[in-house]
Amino acid sequence: MTNAITVRRATIGDAFRLGEIGGATFTETFGHMYPAEDLTEFLRGAHSPEAWSRRLQDPHVAAWLVEAADGAVAGYASAGPCKLPVPDLESNAGELFQLYVHRDFQGGQLGSRLLGTALAWLEAQGFDPLYIGVWSGNLGAQRLYGRFGFTRCGEYEFPVGAQRDHEFILRRA
């Protein structure tokens, strides 16, 4: 399956597509955890085309789209300067903000491929160390990040509407 898949850097022209895949993958992964109004509020703020356009205009932030041969968006990732609540955060710390693969495309190492792409970009930009925030109950993602050398170094609360999710902070030196 991955032979027919491309990973490419997103442009501002991809803001709508990023909003669609961001909303779809967040909802299919976590939507069951939230009241409809909390989910809607979160998606409107985090995955609107306007929000993505603002992010993509930041020269220190990058995003990638995973596209199938038929043009369908199979996943995405985004990364940039670390914004996690890390005590004594290093001035050049980087963060993988998001990494999602649509459930129809999971199981073919796309997550690893996309993660490798984002980490290579972060390293090429001189970000060090690297951080990731991950929901405490997402064991699959924690295993993936562990295979790439990330270890747990902290915790924080991630807001989705009125709800606060317990998240782990992972670090790779």
Tokens 């032979």 -> residue: 3
Tokens 């399956």 -> residue: 1
At 121-147, the pLDDT tens digits run 999 999 999 999 999 999 999 999 999
Q: Provide the pLDDT confidence category of residue 1 given band limits of 50, 70 and 90.
A: very low
CA atoms within 13 A of residue 129's CA, in its CB half-sphere = 16
What the chain holds in terms of domains, given with CATH numbers, is 2-127 (3.40.630.30)
One-character DSSP codes across 107-130: TSSHHHHHHHHHHHHHHHTT--SE
Task: Report pTM.
Answer: 0.93
Backbone torsions φ then ψ of 80, nearest 5 degrees: 170, -155
At 15-70, the pLDDT tens digits run 999 999 999 999 999 999 999 999 999 999 999 999 999 999 999 999 999 999 89
